[in-house]
Amino acid sequence: MKILIRSAKIIAKNSDLNGQVKDIFVEEGIIRHIDEQINLEADEIIEGKNICVSIGWFDLRVHPKEPGYEHKESFESMEAAALAGGFSEIALLPNTKPVVQTRESVKYLQRAGEKVKFHPMAAVTLKCEGKDFTEMIDLHEAGAVAFTDGEHPIQNPDILLKTLQYLSQFGGVLINRPEETNLTHFGQMHDGMMSTFLGMKGMPQMAEEIMLMRDLKLLEYLINTPFTEIPTDKSLLHFAGISSAESVNLIRMGKDMGLPITCDVSAHQLCFTENDLVDFNTNFKVNPPFRTQEDVEALWKGLEDGTIDAIVSDHNPQDEEAKKLEFDMAEFGVIGLETLFAAANTYNESMDLADLIEKITVNPRKILRLPIPKIKEGVKANLTVFSEDEEWIYREKKIVSNSKNSPFIGKTLRGKAISVIV
């Protein structure tokens, strides 16, 4: 198979070719030539007005529904959605049925991806119940790229501390979503003026921030323990899905202290606020919830100054039976693989495109300590071709995922993936 990409602007801050417009010729999966103009026969020619190319996009947070919940999404559907969104690799949470907690389940997920590479994350505790540990070394050797209880924040501080101690011995990464669930029971949306106006129980920012402060303190304690040597140049603790201005400040302070931490934000959190829930559309029911405009602005600021390392989709398919209900009965979650880049690009007002792309290419791989692809001759191709300025409407009938729970339905977005070449 020979593929020729014509006149594409290379977006790769880690490359000497960054910002240059080049032709790229890929043959049998290898980048053979990069030049001003390439005149070779190809089986497929990719071209267009103002197209760009980067290394393959990487989504750090995807909720797979197979095995166990195939009626919401199958591997085939998830992979198609990833390709439509421009992703060559995705990291999968362990909250399937059964939970990803054995070597066999890790290997099963690794083999499931055909055109997109699946990177399984394994559970920290058995069945993600927060009680007994999984065999983390065994899972790491089987290929688990990180450890997390996924949708379930680790509530027990002793469990979290011991996990950090354990993972630090073999270079593992712990991913935890900060939420003190005792403060969010029965919560439906952000705790603020709008929740009072709508008569719904709120989920306070404090629940996220208290958990963040606890985890940072536990990590600081571990690092300062005598005779403990923990590298601080790589992430040991990653915070998933932060949503408040104070969370950004806390992580910024933790990084200033030299703690080995990283964090991500979901793309939809950069686009909406609590005010968007005024008509009770359950496609806007997410956890963490959409917060205030001030929080959104702080998240963008955190992305710009490097406090927030990555943008994720938090792709969480829910079928009609889980979403077409009264708001307080509907499940949390939105799909996001197909809209991650377009959403972030559309609502971005000041970030440079190369910086934005780095949040979905280089940084997710750094967090998981995975190899970073390159755009150079002689290497295996791992590329995403995309348009920065193409405008399109995200229509429900065109959604590739089996589930349709997206807050972007009917909205005009700017920027679109064109092709993934692996």
Catalytic residues: 314
Nearest to residue 65, comparing CAs of 336, 320, 319? Answer: 319
Separation between Cα atoms, residue 422 and residue 357, nearest integer Å: 18
- Map residue 92 onto helix, strand or coil: strand
Structural tokens at position 98? 């059964």
Nearest to residue 360, comparing CAs of 333, 339, 381? Answer: 339
Q: Please, which residues have CB within 8 angstroms of residue 96's CB and are 6 or more apart in sequence?
A: 64, 65, 66, 67, 68, 69, 105
Separation between Cα atoms, residue 255 and residue 308, nearest integer Å: 10
The one-character DSSP state at 101 is: -
Q: Please, which residues have CB within 8 angstroms of residue 63's CB and are 6 or more apart in sequence?
A: 92, 93, 95, 150, 151, 314, 315, 316, 317, 333
SS3 readout for 50-66: CEEEEECEEEEEECCCC
Residue in the block written with tokens 């935890």: 176
Nearest to residue 336, comparing CAs of 63, 46, 141, 99? Answer: 63
Give whole-number Cα distances, 299 to 242, 364, 404, in Å.
8, 17, 26
Separation between Cα atoms, residue 363 and residue 303, nearest integer Å: 12
Q: Where are the beta strands (DSSP E) in 20-79?
A: 21-27, 30-35, 44-46, 51-55, 57-62
